[in-house]
Amino acid sequence: MESSAENIKIKIPVKVGHVSSPAKERTHCLQKKLVRTALFVAVALASFHPAPVPEAVAGQYSAIIRVNAVVLARTQLKPLRQPAMLVVTQADVRRGYVEVSGASLFEIWNNNPAGCVLTFASSDFPFREAVVTVMGREIIVYPTGGMIVMPVRGRQQITLDYRFVLTNEAQPGTYAWPLSVSVNPR
């Protein structure tokens, strides 16, 4: 056999007189097709088995991967000092208000750059309003509640001062603390 697919000669023993000339031509064409097919298959199989990449070259490839993450806003409020009771004296009733400085101390943890919202809810108590001072800012809390936006980021302690403005029907006595505080991300 020769090396080129075009010039392939295959010797098949044929007895003289047993194969006609057209049969020889068909046999010769079929042989050529078989050899071409075998070569095609050999080349195709060689391409499915790539040569291994040397280790020195393997480190030269790079890719860019983009990762996006969304960090949810979280805020926590930890009471460090919060009175359970409020004492109203006869002098407080005559004056019209009860003042309690530094009554509450809270630790706020907030990861929202926009800050957080302190929300005040009131319980049944004979006051018209409460003035709450926090971080140098005042908020008036009515019996329906109130809120204030705080520029707290990270972990911070805050102290709250209160002035409860009493109604005309207020009586001296000991009452449950009239305000609850909660915090939410802004």
- Mean pLDDT taken over the chain: 80
pLDDT in tens, 160-179: 999 999 999 899 999 999 99
pLDDT in tens, 27-69: 666 667 766 776 666 666 655 555 565 555 555 667 788 888 8
- Does the pLDDT at position 87 exceed 70? yes
What is the pTM (predicted TM-score) of this model? Answer: 0.61
**Domain coordinates in residue numbering, the chain:** 1-62, 75-185
- Are the C-beta atoms of residues 109 and 149 closer than 8 Å to each other? no
Spatial distance between the Cα atoms of 8 and 23, rounded to a whole number of angstroms:
18
CATH architecture of 75-185: Sandwich (2.60)
Q: Following DSSP, what letter does each residue of 71-109 receive, concatenated?
A: PPP-EEEEEEE--SEEEE-HHHHHHTEEEEEEEEEEEEE
